Each structure stands twice: as structure tokens, then as C-alpha cells.
């Protein structure tokens, strides 16, 4: 296959800019798309070409329109980023069928792994531990039967959910009976599928994920783990690499699980396998993400590997230059997601950016789409920036990140920076004593 010469980025905001930066480094031309709310977004100016999708803010989901633009501008490939259509098998197949290169796993792999219960079934069949629960979508009667067997509380999950959405904690049988149909309808509205499954709820677990790269020649490597235990309502807030909870022995076991699974399904391109670590040190696979992750920069900073660049090279059918799993890391990296929201009420805070000033410190990277005049719309995920710090040690990294957040000025909207500063200064975070339920404790410690 010839080298990719022009990439249409089927996304917006900071991830569109992130992809453009790597493309510029590689000498690849870029095409941006945008809707009316994003008409002043920086990704439009940074790309070599830009095309207006229309006034409807949700046209980032319009497969036909995106494909039409890609063909019109003679793009050779499409990068979906994360969110929107990034894990949509129909979109990936449309790209492939129109003679374009899809920068991600093939449509058939996305289709295979779209169902969370299918992932659970595959993992169970090949000996990878999964959380006790159902191996297929369940009816209310099946849910009641399995819940009685594994014990409450349980998690009721959307089979086609993702990004931390489509998860409900259920504490007892009566609650399950009362809300099952309501939850199924909610899942159907959100994910266009009424299929749900259950998992045993494991309190005070840690969320550990592995970054994987796989090429078209059967090579699979793991670039290390990320700790994503600081979450609010199953949405990640702070991530770091490496994890303080993963021992070299743990890492060896987790890597073997990842390589076994990815080779078994024939995975290609970048992907993430998410596990929980229980308080008694057991690991269970919970999800496979078929795209680049929001938190990929922490892995890049401790490995020196540009994951977007690797995605492009894999899509060009090149063999991975990285021959071995990464087990030694250069220092420590932590990412803090900044949301356009009121830190007191947690309500979204859309608006126009009137002023922004970024700290310019060694060891600080900021992925964002902020500049004066940019409209932060209410229609999309409210994340507007990611501040990522690197240091030789975890404490040094925390101190750098804290200082950077204190110096960062964003005016015109409210942001979650005060919440992030509370988390970073809390004793339990400083000591690495974290788990997926600790968010409220950390922000209310004072």
C-alpha cells in the first residue's frame, strides 16, 4: 500500500487538533469538518482544508455526508478520533467500501466487539477472567436468577454502551424489579439497543487499562497500563501512567491476557483493554475499546511513542517498529481533564471564550481547542482541554500538574479546575490510595 497522503478527520475539538499535529509532522495533508456551532473552532484553521457539514450540530454522525466530503476532497483516509462514529462498524465499513483507508480496527472487528457480552464470552472461552455475571443479554427473569446467584449489589449495563455511559448500580431484588424496564428503555434511547447484561458489583476496585498496538502482520505489543480510577459516575477525570497498583508480576499477567485476546480476535490498530483490580488483587476484564483513548497522552509521555503516528502507519499496512512490550517507563505522567462546567453545581457551562492563558513550564503538555472567540457549545461532551504533566517521580508530576492548573486561565466559561485541584491535593490521591468510588471523598475531604 502507498503512503497515506490526505486524512479527513471525522471529529472536532482537541482530538482533531491532536491528529492534525501528528499529520503535519508526517507531511500528511488534513481535512477538517465542522458544524455551525464549531465555525470558529481552531481545528478548521489548522487543517489544510475544511468543509462545512451544516447547521445541525449532530452532523458529525452523518456517515453519508462525511464520506461524500472525503471523496470530494480526494482524501485517502479517515481518522475517526474518539467518540462520535469512532467505534461504529457501519461507518468503518462505508469507509472501506468507498475505497478509503479506515484508521482503526477493521469493520468486522468493530462489529465482533461492539457487544460487551460478546467480549465477555470470548474472554471466558479463552481463559481471561471476567467479572461474575451474564455471558449474554438478559431478560428480567434471567437477571433476577443470575443476581440471586452472584449476590447484590449488581451493575446493570448496556450491551452496546461505552465511554462510561449505560451503567446502573442496583442494590436489591425489589429495585431490580422496579427499574429494569425503565433502564432498558433508557439504554434503547441512548444506544439504539435494548440489550442489557449484569455484572457483580465489586466495591473499591481500581480501573486499570492496557494500551495495545496491533499491525496487519500479526504483531501485537502492549505499551503499558494506565490507572483511571478517579471517576465521576463512571466517567474518567484523572488518569496516570504507570499505575502505582500494578506490580511487575501483575503486568506480566495482564500483558499475556491482552496479547492472547487481541491475537484471538485478529485485532488491528490501536485498542485498549480495560480491567478492574479488586481489593484482593484479582483482575477482571470489563471492556475493549476499539479506538484511541482520551487519555492516550500519558502513555505517550512515559514511552516516547506517538500513538496517532502508529495508527497511521498500521493503516498503511506497515509492520510495527516496536518489537517488544514496554515494561520500563520513563518517569510518570498524569492527565487532568478540564470540563466546561460549574464546579459547584456540576452543570454544563457553555459560552464564548473571552481570554485564555496557558502555563509554559517544562514537563507540561496541554491538548485543547481554546482561544478567544471560540464557542463552547452545549451539544457535545463538555471536555475542553487536557493538562498532562510529566515528571521523574509521581510526586514531582503531581506538583507540576497542580502548578500548571493554578496558572491556567480560562475566561468566558466556568471550568472544573477547582475540582481537579482538590483531587490532586488530597492525601489519599497523593498516597495513591485510590479506587473508582473515591471521587466524592477526594473533593469533599476539606
Q: In what order do the strands lie in the sheet with 29-35?
A: 49-54, 29-35, 6-9, 77-79, 101-102
- 364-368 and 375-376: which strand pairing? unpaired
Q: Count how many residues are written for the chain.
A: 446
What span, in angstroms and rounded, lies between the C-alpha atoms of 261 and 126?
Answer: 8
Active site residue 168: no
Question: Would you call 178 exposed, middle or buried from its count of C-beta atoms within 10 A (0-12, 13-18, 19+)?
Answer: exposed
- For residue 90, give the 3-state DSSP assignment: helix
What span, in angstroms and rounded, lies between the C-alpha atoms of 218 and 108?
Answer: 16
E-assigned strand segments in 94-234: 101-102, 154-158, 167-170, 196-200, 206-214, 220-232
Among 291, 337, 365, 394, the active-site one is 291
CB atoms within 10 A of CB 308: 23
Give 352-416 as a DSSP string.
Answer: E--EEE----TTEEEEE---TT-EE-SSS--EEEEEEEEESSHHHHHHHHHHHHHH-EEESS--S
- Give the active site residues: 291
Amino acid at each position: 500500500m502507498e503512503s497515506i497522503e490526505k486524512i479527513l478527520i471525522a471529529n472536532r475539538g482537541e482530538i482533531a487538533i491532536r491528529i492534525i499535529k501528528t499529520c503535519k509532522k508526517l507531511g500528511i495533508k488534513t481535512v477538517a469538518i465542522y458544524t455551525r456551532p464549531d465555525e470558529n473552532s481552531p481545528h478548521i484553521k489548522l487543517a489544510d482544508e475544511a468543509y462545512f457539514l451544516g447547521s445541525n450540530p449532530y452532523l458529525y454522525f452523518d456517515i453519508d455526508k462525511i464520506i461524500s466530503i472525503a471523496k470530494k476532497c480526494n482524501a485517502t483516509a479517515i481518522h475517526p478520533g474518539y467518540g462520535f462514529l469512532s467505534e461504529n462498524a457501519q461507518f468503518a465499513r462505508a469507509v472501506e467500501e468507498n475505497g478509503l483507508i479506515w484508521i482503526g480496527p477493521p469493520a468486522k472487528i468493530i462489529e465482533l466487539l461492539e457487544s460487551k457480552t460478546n467480549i465477555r464470552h470470548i474472554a471466558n472461552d479463552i481463559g481471561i477472567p471476567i467479572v461474575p455475571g451474564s455471558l449474554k443479554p438478559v431478560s428480567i427473569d434471567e437477571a433476577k436468577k443470575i443476581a440471586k446467584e452472584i449476590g447484590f449489589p449488581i451493575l446493570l449495563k448496556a450491551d452496546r454502551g461505552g465511554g462510561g455511559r449505560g451503567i446502573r448500580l442496583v442494590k436489591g431484588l425489589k429495585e431490580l424489579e422496579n427499574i429494569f424496564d425503565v433502564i432498558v428503555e433508557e439504554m434503547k434511547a441512548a444506544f439504539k439497543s435494548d440489550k442489557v447484561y449484569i455484572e457483580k458489583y465489586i466495591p473499591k476496585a481500581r480501573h486499570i487499562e492496557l494500551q495495545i498496538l496491533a499491525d496487519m502482520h500479526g504483531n501485537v505489543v502492549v505499551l503499558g497500563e494506565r490507572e483511571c480510577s478517579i471517576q465521576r459516575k463512571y466517567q474518567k477525570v484523572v488518569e496516570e501512567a504507570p499505575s502505582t497498583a500494578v506490580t511487575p508480576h501483575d503486568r506480566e499477567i495482564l500483558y499475556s491476557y491482552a496479547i492472547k485476546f487481541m491475537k484471538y480476535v485478529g485485532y488491528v490498530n490501536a485498542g485498549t483493554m480495560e480491567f478492574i483490580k479488586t481489593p484482593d488483587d484479582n483482575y477482571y476484564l470489563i471492556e475493549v475499546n476499539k479506538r484511541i483513548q482520551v487519555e492516550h497522552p500519558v502513555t505517550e509521555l512515559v514511552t516516547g511513542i506517538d500513538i496517532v503516528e502508529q495508527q497511521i502507519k498500521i493503516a498503511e499496512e506497515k509492520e510495527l517498529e516496536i518489537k517488544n512490550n514496554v515494561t520500563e517507563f520513563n518517569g510518570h505522567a498524569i492527565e487532568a481533564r478540564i470540563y466546561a462546567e460549574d464546579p459547584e453545581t456540576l452543570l454544563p457551562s457553555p459560552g464564548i471564550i473571552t481570554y485564555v492563558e496557558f502555563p509554559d513550564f517544562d514537563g507540561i503538555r496541554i491538548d485543547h481547542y481554546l482561544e478567544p472567540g471560540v464557542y463552547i457549545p452545549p451539544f457535545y461532551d463538555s471536555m475542553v482541554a487536557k493538562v498532562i504533566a510529566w515528571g521523574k517521580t509521581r510526586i514531582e508530576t503531581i506538583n507540576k500538574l497542580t502548578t500548571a492548573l493554578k496558572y491556567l486561565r480560562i475566561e468566558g466559561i466556568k471550568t472544573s479546575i477547582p475540582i481537579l485541584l482538590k483531587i490532586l491535593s488530597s492525601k489519599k490521591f497523593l498516597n495513591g490510595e485510590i479506587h473508582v468510588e473515591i471521587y466524592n471523598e477526594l473533593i469533599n475531604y476539606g
